[in-house]
Structure 1
Amino acid sequence: MIQYPKLSMIIDGERISGEGRRTHAVLNPATGERLAELPLASAEDLDRALDVAASGFRLWRKSSPQERAAVLQGAARLMRERCEDIAQVAVLEQGKTLAEARIEVAMNIGLFEFYAGETFRIYGRTLVRPEGMRSTVQYEPVGPLAAFAPWNFPIGNPGRKLGAPIAAGCSVILKAAEETPASALAVLQCLLDAGLPPSVAQAVFGVPDEVSRHLLASPVIRKLSFTGSTAVGRHLGALAAAGLQRTTMELGGHGPVLVFEDADLDRALDTLVAQKYRNAGQVCVSPTRFIVEDGIFEAFCDGFAERAKALKVGDGLAPASQVGPLANARRVEAIDTLVKEALEAGARLETGGERLGNRGFFYAPTVLRDVPTAARVMNDEPFGPVALINRYANEEAMIAEGNRLPYGLAAYAWTQDSARQKRLAAQLEAGMLGINTAMIGGADAPFGGVKWSGHGHEDGPEGLMACLIAKAVHEG
């Protein structure tokens, strides 16, 4: 196992450590022990990052598609070479299993390679005009971005925040999560080692509200990209509105899963249990509210609980572990409170419902059935290893429950009826829908939600277009 690295910020290619700065203790979620101290940015550090980002944008917006592609392809190659080291660092600071961390590295490699190709497909168009006049539409980089990434995917989230802007010709100030800084720094270092000019991408850390207010108050920043909770997204959106900065918001969800009587039950259960407890349930698109047709309800509950009980919970670096710890002590307390409240409201506990051990932040994979709609866990995203299973009489009632909440990030459905599949695709309110699958993402597919789950997209051509502005040019 590798040694956890010394932490720093990166501004203009310089590693800035904690001399005289406030620090944040980074913990190993599997043990609760301190891994390192992370330096937090001062106002002067943030001002320097803004100045560098402004100069970096002036430089990078002039770069050719070939230059941008070479950097992204080179970074992908370096991430492939450094995969094991990066994955182990992610496990140490975030807790997920090593197998999941390796997949996350691979996803990031795919995203960088995809955007390397997209640099050559920033197309404009020529408009039809009378003879003697020429009108075109061209796309240009929006400008320096402030990008805020959460801790649940410590490799992939920073990759998303960096890949599309760099492909578009923008500069970026990345503030990744203070809980998982080393993974983000490793991603940025791959880009720098692949030839990205140091002024184009910076990594800062700090007290989140201080950093966001400082960066978004600057006229240097032209766009905000944020992944996180709806509550924080509203706050940051208000700050961005004051400066009329463009925004991409990937916010919370509460993933409904509609399971009909004609579903392939064993396949659905094998898939859904694995997806529910992936990353200990700390996934914004996690399947959470299982909306099950009455005829298969008991069989679904029994099969789900049986599979959940069999999962091996432990340190993410242990080969046998299938579910790692929660990211921090706050998550353990929050999950335990939601579960207890649900039980007091009348829910039935099928398995789990308790903290595991007295070391680290482990919580048992939990299954609740017959959960009252008024219970808080049915309305607030649990963001943890909790599955909620309720029975419904028919398709109409199931769709109504799927759409009941103001969230609309990911939804899932299991049915063999092709006509019903079309109805669900039309009627479920979500930015992403998986029918008989839990695979709803990909480098070439837009990732984003509707309603309180945010607006705009990451990934796919849509993620690149979100970093561009359209300019109409008319020549007489």
Structure 2
Amino acid sequence: MTLAADVRTDVDLTAAALDRAYVDGRWTAADSGEVVEVVDPATGRRIGSVPKMGADETRVAIEAAHAAWNDWRARTAGERSTVLRRWADLIADHEEELAALLTAEQGKPLAESRAEIGASAAFLTWFAEEGRRAYGQTIPTDRADRRLQVIRQSVGVVAAITPWNFPSSMITRKAGPALAAGCTMVVKPSEETPLSALALARLADRAGVPAGVFNVVTGTAREIGGELTSSALVRKLTFTGSTRVGKLLGEQSAGTVKRVSLELGGNAPFIVCDDAELDAAVEGAVRSKFRNAGQACVATNRIYVQDGIYDRFVAAFVARVRALAVGNGAVAGVEVGSMINPVAAQSMSSLVDDAVERGATLACGGGAHEHGPAFFAPTVLLDADDAMRCCSDETFGPIAPVMRFHDDDEVVRRANATAYGLVAYCYTTDYRRLTRIAEGLEFGMVGMNDFSVSTEVAPFGGVKESGIGREGSHWGLDEYTEIKYVCTGGMG
């Protein structure tokens, strides 16, 4: 799509230019003047700062979103679609600047950051069109003198609390359907990675998103989150993050009976059957496990390999992991960047120690990496078992425990023996087996012979303690609409 003539693309997206929050179409500081420092985890270097806002500033943002709601929802779906497509085009036009900013504040390799920026634009493009298809229904009447209709309307003001591991795409995956449906938003990004959110806000402003429709408040979670969950003006909360925090936000939102979408933790099994294509399974396991240094809710958490292929898989997998290029994500060719901070990296050692003490064999890695305190060496643990913390907990780091299994019933039972149910993976060339395993796994998403399940066209979400609701696809739009039944009498 060609940008409208009044939409300029010369936007300053440097960290220095993103030192204010974005509320009601204005760039603003915290009332207190306090700031939160933003640090490059790979180098420990300060790259910028953002306002440390609290409840009062959040309340202003909520009121601005509420005031903007009537005009935004009154616009046609086509008008909203045009604005969203402009926003998506601007994101695509500024892919390199956005990717560099993302890598600087989050640590992932530039190649992964570019892919995330592409996904950010794709979510907006998809929902720009999907919003034009928010169809209702005419119900065959039960009486000749009346008509029965169902229409879909926007929920209202949406609060979005987004994570540091995908600080750009997790915003547009929520903002796309919300704005397409006619909702307005207040976004609270992670204090670790607020710059990507502010860069999106700057592009939204340039694309013509009206004042108050998309707001970004920055600061620490407690005061901002408390205001978002307690406000009666906020009618929907959407959150991506840990199960522990998701449960707390759900409890806090109950007082005003908000609509809630929660995309929470995972404990993804990766199953390799003895008839799998070995090279594809190895590459899938490496990419799924070590993307973003293992800091993804969909990252493989435990690998189950059938007896007949175990030795060959382990030899190839360990060799591939040892060869991974680790370093500053801004350097070309790096495959595994830093973790989000030194504390996260240090926490990995206790998981390795627990596994080794319980009988696991350390095949590679296992400790801090020479690149700096926020780095942890890609690690493989052999002869692991389900009781080890690296298998029972969500690791959220570059540790891959590998275990044997004997038959399909056993591995499905072991894979399901978790409170989580976000995503599972399985590699097999037997399509009868594929179907049985896919249907038996208690997860919201299953990747069969594929390690990358996230796409704007398919529903993303989990079961059990991995969350409520779906993002992406037409089901993602449903999360931001209410069903209204209209009964019209006097038609006889």
TM-score (norm 2): 0.95
Deviation at residue 17 of structure 1 after TM alignment:
2.7
Q: Say whether the 8 Å CA contact 1:21–1:42 is kept in structure 2.
A: no
1:120-139 to 2 correspondences below 5 Å: 120-129=132-141, 130-139=143-152
Aligned to 1:259: 272
Q: Say whether the 8 Å CA contact 1:4–1:92 is kept in structure 2.
A: no
Report which stretch shifted further, 58-67 or 463-472.
Answer: 58-67
1:277 aligned counterpart, secondary structure: helix
Aligned to 2:167: 154
| 340, 343, 364: which one aligns with 1:330 | 343
Q: Say whether the 8 Å CA contact 1:149–1:161 is kept in structure 2.
A: no
Aligned to 2:8: none
2:207 alignment partner AA: A
Report which stretch shifted further, 404-413 or 6-15.
Answer: 6-15
How far apart in 1 are the matches of 2:469 and 2:356? 37
1:299-338 to 2 correspondences below 5 Å: 299-338=312-351
How far apart in 2 are the matches of 1:45 and 1:73? 30
Q: Say whether the 8 Å CA contact 2:131–2:177 is kept in structure 1.
A: no
Q: Say whether the 8 Å CA contact 1:291–1:401 is kept in structure 2.
A: no
Consecutive unaligned residues in structure 2, runs of 5 or more: 1-12
Q: Deviations 1:171-206 (Å, cap 9, x if unpaired)? A: 110001111111111112222211110111110022
How far apart in 1 are the matches of 2:31 and 2:322? 48
TM-score (norm 1): 0.98
Report which stretch shifted further, 129-138 or 350-359.
Answer: 350-359
| 183, 196, 199: which one aligns with 2:209 | 196
The answer to whether 1:91 aligns with 2:109 is no
The answer to whether 1:464 aligns with 2:477 is yes
1:253 aligned counterpart, secondary structure: coil
How far apart in 2 are the matches of 1:77 and 1:172? 20
Aligned to 1:38: 50
| 169, 176, 196: which one aligns with 1:183 | 196
Q: Deviations 1:67-103 (Å, cap 9, x if unpaired)? A: 1101110011101111100000000000011111111
| 400, 407, 410: which one aligns with 1:394 | 407
The answer to whether 1:4 aligns with 2:15 is yes
1:447 alignment partner AA: F
1:46-61 to 2 correspondences below 5 Å: 46-61=58-73
Report which stretch shifted further, 134-143 or 156-165.
Answer: 156-165
How far apart in 2 are the matches of 1:223 and 1:78? 27
Deviation at residue 207 of structure 1 after TM alignment:
2.0
Deviation at residue 161 of structure 1 after TM alignment:
2.3
How far apart in 2 are the matches of 1:44 and 1:417? 59
1:407-422 to 2 correspondences below 5 Å: 407-422=420-435
1:85 alignment partner AA: E
The answer to whether 1:373 aligns with 2:391 is no
2:425 aligned counterpart, secondary structure: strand
2:484 aligned counterpart, secondary structure: strand
Deviation at residue 3 of structure 1 after TM alignment:
4.7
Residue identity (%): 38
Tell me how many residue pairs correspond in the alignment.
Answer: 476
1:230-249 to 2 correspondences below 5 Å: 230-249=243-262
Aligned to 1:21: 33
2:326 aligned counterpart, secondary structure: coil
The answer to whether 1:429 aligns with 2:435 is no
Aligned to 1:143: 156
Check 1:165–1:238 CA distance in 2 against 1; reply closer, same or farther (3 A cut). same
Deviation at residue 373 of structure 1 after TM alignment:
2.1
Deviation at residue 447 of structure 1 after TM alignment:
0.5
Q: Deviations 1:422-463 (Å, cap 9, x if unpaired)? A: 111211011110111112121110100000100101111111
Q: Deviations 1:31-67 (Å, cap 9, x if unpaired)? A: 1121122211133211211210110112211111111
Runs of 4+ in 1 over 3 A off after TM superposition: none
